[in-house]
Amino acid sequence: MTTSLVCHTHAIAPSRVIRGEQAWQQGLPAIADLCQRPALLGRSPATQGIRARLKADLIGCDLAVVESELQFDCCEDDLTRLQAQLQATACDAVIAAGGGKVLDAGKLLAHRLKLPCITVPLSAATCAGWTALANIYSPDGAFIADEALAACPDLLIFDHDLVRQAPNQTLASGIADALAKWYEASVGSGSSTDGIIQQAVQMARVLRDQLLIDAREAMAQPESEAWVRVAEACGLTAGVIGGLGGAQCRTVAAHAVHNGLTQLHACHSKLHGEKVGFGILVQLRLEERLGGNQLAAQSRRQLLPLLQELGVPVTLQDLGLGEAGLHELRAICSFACRPGSDLHHLPFDVTETDLLEALVSTDADSRSFSTSLETEA
């Protein structure tokens, strides 16, 4: 019997990863090997002091640094402007230092200009420093599309000292985003007969278990070994799973809900992983109601108290949508259910009405659970 094999291409990992305490200092010679005139890309005023230190260190290595700043989220307006700046100043590499949107923008600029890419995450909120994928947003912060890149970054520097300076909220966001690897991959790719994808899905399960064990201690004790395990799980291991599983190791409804939520300005103060965390709860409700999966209800009950302890939004009110009208909730569902959405990787059909019912019922369940906890306390 002959088996027909489909050819898959995987951009699995950065060419080099330097992680740990003082990783930035250890990585400076590797940066100098890649470039002489790098663009140092950032955005947040909160990280300006860190980026000033990075620039000074780069100059100390005899590199001519060109400072570049995003004005918005990772959007085409910014990318077009920055691409012209980098070309005009003859930059020969992009060093992106910041959160997920800065890292995505840096990867896109390097990809389009065919330059070496160096990512320096300043939080563990996402695995964007690792992956060959970037999300593109509107200037207002609404998700538009994701773009696959030819390769992962040339160098990833995951410096524990730098990442530890980020607000705890960013780590909570990273935990929720990394947890979604299991909840999405298991339902979207769990039945795959491809051995590599099967292994990626099982890695996602191990990642979930590690986070369930260590998340609380990591949040409470940033100097602990649990913090190191969790921060690296969010910033690095989650990216390994996406790289190994490739396009066939699917994101599903949790990220589709995130993409829909970004269409409403009221949600823009929430981080990527915070919206994804709420999306996991919505996906589990869909699995229970439409997929007939009773284990989904058990998973939701297990996950809900952890997300609440982490401060991740679990209700529409937590997301800033407590007063949202029906037309606004329908706008979320319309975008999340559009053709080509990740939501359609679920193994059953979901309509906009189905998703709206899941949004509302998840919100009601979460409020009821919160009330019961307060009563017990």
pLDDT tens, residue order, the chain (377 aa): 444 567 888 999 999 999 999 999 999 999 999 999 999 999 989 999 999 999 999 999 999 999 999 999 999 999 999 999 999 999 999 999 999 999 999 999 999 999 999 999 999 999 999 999 999 999 999 999 999 999 999 999 999 999 999 999 999 999 999 999 999 999 999 889 999 999 999 999 999 999 999 999 999 999 999 999 999 999 999 999 999 998 878 899 999 999 999 999 999 999 999 999 999 999 999 999 999 998 999 999 999 999 999 999 999 999 999 999 999 999 999 999 999 999 999 999 999 999 999 999 987 777 665 555 455 44
Q: How far is CA 14 from the centre of its chain?
A: 16
The whole-model pTM stands at 0.95
User: How far apart are alpha carbons 93 and 269 in whole angstroms?
Assistant: 31
* Cα 355 to Cα 101, 254, 260, 331, distances in angstroms: 27, 11, 11, 11
For the chain, give percent helix, strand, coil, nearest 5: 60, 10, 30
Whether residue 360 contacts residue 329, with contact meaning beta carbons closer than 8 Å, is answered with: yes
